[in-house]
Amino acid sequence: MGDASDVDYLIIGAGVCGLYQLHQLLEIGADVRVVDANAGLGGTWYKNRYPGCRFDSESYTYQYSFSEELLREWDWKERFAAQPETLSYLEYVADKFDLRRHITFNAKVVRAEWSEADWRWAVTFEDGMRIRARFVLYATGLLSVPTYPRMAGRGSFRGLETHTFDWPEDYDVTGKRVAVIGTGASGVQVITDVADKVEKLYVLQRDANWCAPLGNAPISPEEMADLRAKYDEIFAWCRETPAGFIHRPDRTLSTDVSREERLRHWEELYNGQGAGLYMGNYRDCIMEPGPNRELSEFVAGKIRQRVADPKVADLLTPKDHGFGTKRVAGESGFYEVFNRPNVELVDLMAHPIQGVTEAGIRLDMGAGEIRDLELDVIVYATGFDAVTGPFDRIDITGTDGVRLKERWKDGPETCIGVQVSGFPNMFVLVGPQSGSATANFPRGIEDVVNWMTETARHIREHRIGRFEGRRDAELGWLEHVREVNSKLLLSQTQSWFNGHNINLDRDERPRVMVYLGGAPRYRRRLQEEVEGGYPSFRLAVDPEIAEP
């Protein structure tokens, strides 16, 4: 394909964020196009089709809030919707607002080069197509580059070898011998879903992860009507919580109440819905090691109650980190899976994988012994080259030929999470150190997209042709993010939040990947820029743009 003309705003990614940004830019009459590598829209919800895939956000908070009509029309079926329902929702939104005609699918961006001569980005696609854009907006997702473990023989297996992210549509595991590697949020969901369908399930676990009951259930028509009547209240409430969920950390400290009271409260949260035990708990539980240990012991007790074999229960209990110091997986019967006779937990710390063979997985049992697991399916639930992976995949070159990958080799640096100095007119809607990254996703991206839309208005009104984050502001932001993040135990553990699964090397240097200062504070920070005339950015008027 040849050149495909110029556009003012090119959005990369037609997922939850890209779709909303498209809608908002169209609303202000901007010249905008979306491109997406996939054959359909939905991003994460297009790709993740593994059995059991669903979000851990309450469905009614995981939707756009911009259209009253849309809110009136859409009924959620479950408290925590599964992937097919979420994908249908996004498709419904795209059709309702006639968004599809602005999206080019099967368009994988491989290169983006800044031209200082004409203040344009030249964007090149895998098939040779090229687009020149004044502004490029990255809505490429946080978890869109899957990581496979480095292991001998991978690819030589005769059966199905798949990452959760690349699950073949409609693949049926019934009656199969299956191994799942990884017990993060994705692993926990797929394991729970397939356990009673497969002939044999091996769960290959390196470190255990903390999980808490999701409390999922169908939403009745009465409940839906009740929720709908409270939408304004619900969205207003979510706007004020740190992560944009309906759960809000309790200002009370766990040490302010008696042990009896604490346990009663935790019992209630454990039996409640969603991330309450994690996000709606006494705030010192995720900030102070002592209270965190006590909470972790409470949850460990639950695992012991639910898993029949004490040795298995012990293996399923994390030892290297406390509850809520990594992303907690929402589960619906995960622990009971291990009471089934067809399910076996394999401890990779004791018996590492030696390699993949034609017939399955070979384990190193120590003392020269091996064990072969004969399989039909190997599932890699091994996570993602999170947050920066989607940027690394594109060869992005800014001013003076500087490559973004090179700029970020020791960790990302951003101007308030939305730009990078040396990369003018490139806006990051979802990426490192942005408030959008750790929030209930639709809530988090609304803040950034609304800011971007307001900024696009400013760009038009003031005939701005070049918009670039300042280096000093970038360094200031990094300092600020480091400081706020350090208050949470979450910043001290080895997880994708801190850049630890980039190469699946466990000694990877921590990186400042996420902003943990909370959505309200982030929103205010972005708003300050609008009100102050963008002091953290360098704006230049394009003399070629006529006065409006």
CB of 108 to ligand NA7, least distance (A): 22
Task: Find out whether 208 and 184 touch, Cβ atoms under 8 Å.
Answer: no
In the region spanning residues 104 to 163, those forming contacts with ligand NA7, defined by CB under 6 A, are 143, 149
- Closer of 149 and 333 to ligand NA7 (Cβ): 149
Q: Does 57 bind ligand NA7 (CB under 6 A)?
A: no
Q: Binding marks (x or -) toward ligand NA7, 68..107, rule CB under 6 A?
A: ----------------------------------------
* Stretch of residues binding ligand NA7 (CB under 6 A), selected from 273-281, 456-464, 496-504, 525-533: 496-504
- Taking the complex as a whole, the smallest distance from the CB of residue 444 to ligand NA7 amounts, in Å, to 12
Q: Is 498 in the site for ligand NA7 (CB under 6 A)?
A: no
Binding to ligand NA7 by residue 4, rule CB under 6 A?
A: no
Name the pairing type of β-strands 109-115 and 120-125. antiparallel
Query: In the complex, which residue's CB is closest to ligand NA7?
Result: 184
Tell me the chain's radius of gyration from C-alpha atoms: 24
The rounded distance, in Å, linking the Cα atoms of 292 and 115 is 51
Residue of 15, 40, 141, 182 interacting with ligand NA7 (CB under 6 A): 182
Using rule CB under 6 A, residue 185 touches ligand NA7: yes
Binding region for ligand NA7 (CB under 6 A) out of 229-237, 244-252, 378-386, 407-415: 378-386
Rounded to the nearest 5°, which phi and psi values hold at 268?
A: -65, -45
Q: Exactly one of 501, 514, 515, 522 binds ligand NA7 (CB under 6 A); which one?
A: 501
Dist CA 92 CA 101 (whole Å): 14
**Residue 455 contacts residue 530 (beta carbons within 8 Å):** yes
Q: Which stretch binds ligand NA7 (CB under 6 A): 201-209, 276-284, 302-310, 515-523?
A: 201-209
- Our finding on whether 383 is near ligand NA7 (CB under 6 A) is yes
Torsion angles phi and psi, residue 475, rounded to 5: -65, -40
- Count of chain residues binding ligand NA7 (CB under 6 A): 20
20 vs 68, 192, 262, 441, CA distance in Å? 15, 32, 41, 12
Provide the total of helices (H) and of strands (E) in the chain, helices listed first: 17, 20
| Beta-carbon contacts of residue 267 (< 8 Å; ≥ 6 apart) | none
Question: Exactly one of 186, 296, 388, 438 binds ligand NA7 (CB under 6 A); which one?
Answer: 186
| Shortest distance, position 494 Cβ to ligand NA7, whole Å | 7
What residues between 333 and 372 interact with ligand NA7 by CB under 6 A?
348
Count of CB atoms situated within 10 Å of the CB of 56: 21
CA dihedral of residues 244, 451, 29, 129 (deg, nearest 10): -90
Angle in degrees, CA 257, 259, 264, rounded to 5? 90
Q: Identify the DSSP state of 532.
A: T
Kindly state whether residue 485 participates in binding ligand NA7, applying the rule CB under 6 A: no
Q: Which is nearer to ligand NA7, 183 or 434 (CB)?
A: 183
Binding site for ligand NA7 (CB under 6 A): 143, 149, 181-187, 206-207, 209, 327, 348, 381-383, 496, 501, 504
